[in-house]
Amino acid sequence: MVYERQAEGRYGSHKDVRVDPFVREFDMGLARPLSRSVRLNGFATCLRLEQVYWDILAEMARVNGCSVSSLLSHVDREVHLRHGGVRNFSGLVRVVCVVHSLKEGGCIVTA
C-alpha cells in the first residue's frame, strides 16, 4: 500500500530495530511527566520530570541518606561550581539519572 511505503521510507521499517525498547511489561506511567516543588539551595522552584526520573532520584537520595531536594541541591551547587551553571536544569537532572542508572547496571559512561 502507498501509506505503508511512505511510512517505511519516512520512519524506517520495523526490521531495522534489533532491540525492542518496549519490553513486555513496559509501564507507560513511567513516561508521565510530574511537576514537583523542590528547594534548591534554599530557593523554592518547580521541576517537571517524568515519573521514571523521580523514581531514580528517590533511589539515589535513599542511598545517600538524604531527601530528593538535598540531592538536587547538590547537583545544582556542583554544576555552578564546576561549570558556571546550566541553562536546562531538568535536562541535566535527566542525564544525571541516566548516567547513574548506566553505572549501576555495569555500563561505563565517559565523555
Answer yes or no: is 9 within a domain.
no
Answer yes or no: is 18 within a domain.
no
**What's the CATH code of the domain at 79?**
1.10.3990.20
Answer yes or no: is 8 within a domain.
no
pLDDT of residue 13: 57
Percent of the chain, pLDDT > 90? 63
Answer yes or no: is 4 within a domain.
no
What is the pLDDT confidence band of residue 5, given thresholds at 50, 70 and 90? very low
Answer yes or no: is 14 within a domain.
no
Least confident residue range of 15-19, 38-42, 99-103: 15-19
Q: How many domains are there within the chain?
A: 1
Domain that holds residue 95: 29-104
Answer yes or no: is 19 within a domain.
no
Answer yes or no: is 22 within a domain.
no
pLDDT mean over 53-70 = 96
What's the whole-model pTM score?
Answer: 0.76
- Spatial distance between the Cα atoms of 62 and 58, rounded to a whole number of angstroms: 6
